[in-house]
């Protein structure tokens, strides 16, 4: 019986993590999507300032079987926010709870750093399991026009609904490409 361990991302994991994302998305979508996400992760890790990026890996038998990143998301209030993107679990390990474990661990870590809000853009059915709820853009604007507005999700760590805020938001450079939105 192997046990999954969660560790903070370190730059020495970069190549293994890029391969994980490329392989997982090649299998779940197609090879070209795998390349797109692999390049995105490479960009995210190399262009984001350390204070604006937090990543975790899930390991099993010294092998990385999952990875998640949160990057700083600037909102037009004094609140501190991060956005979850992306997350991947090795194809052979999917559906065994590691994804939810990594997301929950990451969110707890953000809370411990006094972060106020977390956002993501993805499947509401999956992310609702870890506290995310749909966010209307009249409450918080996304930084780019959304191709799937129903995937715009967020949560406030004070347990209350995310409060409406006026003004634009900003993601890190690696995410600043309309093709991801
Ligand atoms: C999506 C992903 C991160 C989920 O991680 P996981 O470890 O496989 O999922 P878990 O075992 O933690 O959660 C399983 C639960 O989520 C559900 N689930 C898994 N993937 C889902 C998806 N894409 N959409 C909706 N529900 C999903 C399962 O039905 C299961 O539900 P249950 O708890 O009610 O039985 C993982 O499957 C993955 O890497 N997929 C390919 C890449 C991807 O789509 N990443 C997310 C976008 S960045």
If you count them, how many residues does the chain have? Answer: 181
- The pLDDT score that the predictor gives to residue 36 is 97
- The pLDDT score that the predictor gives to residue 28 is 98
Beta bridge partners of 81: 73, 117
> What is 5-176's CATH number?
3.40.630.30
Q: Which of 44, 94, 174, 175 to mutate to test the pocket of ligand 1 (most atoms within 8 A of CB)?
A: 94
- The pLDDT score that the predictor gives to residue 2 is 66
Residue 98 in contact with ligand 1 by CB distance below 6 A: yes
Separation of alpha carbons 8 and 12, rounded Å: 11
The DSSP code for 138 is T
- The pLDDT score that the predictor gives to residue 23 is 98
In ligand 1, the atom with minimum distance to the C-alpha of 101 is 12
- The pLDDT score that the predictor gives to residue 146 is 98
Q: Both ends of the chain: CA-CA distance in Å?
A: 40
- The pLDDT score that the predictor gives to residue 177 is 97
- Are 18 and 42 within 8 A, CB to CB? yes
- The pLDDT score that the predictor gives to residue 3 is 85
Residue with tokens 């984001």: 48
Predicted TM-score (pTM) of the model is 0.95
Q: Which of 20, 70, 89 to mutate to test the pocket of ligand 1 (most atoms within 8 A of CB)?
A: 89
Backbone torsions φ then ψ of 170, nearest 5 degrees? -140, 130
Domain boundaries defined on the chain: 5-176
- The pLDDT score that the predictor gives to residue 35 is 98
Separation of alpha carbons 83 and 86, rounded Å: 9
Contact residues for 159 (Cβ-Cβ < 8 A; gap 6+): none
Q: Which of 99, 125, 152, 181 to mutate to test the pocket of ligand 1 (most atoms within 8 A of CB)?
A: 99
Q: How many Å lie between the centroid of ligand 1 and the Cα of residue 166?
A: 33
Residue whose CA is closest, atom 42 of ligand 1? 88
Q: Which of 73, 68, 132, 133 is nearest to 103 (CA)?
A: 68
pLDDT string in tens for the chain (181-residue length): 568 999 999 999 999 999 999 999 999 999 999 999 999 999 999 999 999 999 999 999 999 999 999 999 999 999 999 999 999 999 999 999 999 999 999 999 999 999 999 999 999 999 999 999 999 999 999 999 999 999 999 999 999 999 999 999 999 999 999 999 9
């Amino acid at each position: 019986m192997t046990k999954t361990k969660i560790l903070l991302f370190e730059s020495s994991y970069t190549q293994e993590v890029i391969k994980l994302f490329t392989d997982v998305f090649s299998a779940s979508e197609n090879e070209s999507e795998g390349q797109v996400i692999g390049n995105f992760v490479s960009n995210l890790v190399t262009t984001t300032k350390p204070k604006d990026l937090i990543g975790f890996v899930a390991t099993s038998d010294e092998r990385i079987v999952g990875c998640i990143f949160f990057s700083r998301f600037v909102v037009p209030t004094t609140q501190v926010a991060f956005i979850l993107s992306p997350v991947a679990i090795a194809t052979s390990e999917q559906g065994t709870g590691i994804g939810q474990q990594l997301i929950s661990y990451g969110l707890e870590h953000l809370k411990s750093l006094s972060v106020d809000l977390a956002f993501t853009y993805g499947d509401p059915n999956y992310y609702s399991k870890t506290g995310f709820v749909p966010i209307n853009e009249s409450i918080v604007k996304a930084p780019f026009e959304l191709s799937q507005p129903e995937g715009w999700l967020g949560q406030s760590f004070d347990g209350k609904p995310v409060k409406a805020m006026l003004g634009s938001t900003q993601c890190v450079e690696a995410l600043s490409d309309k093709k991801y939105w």
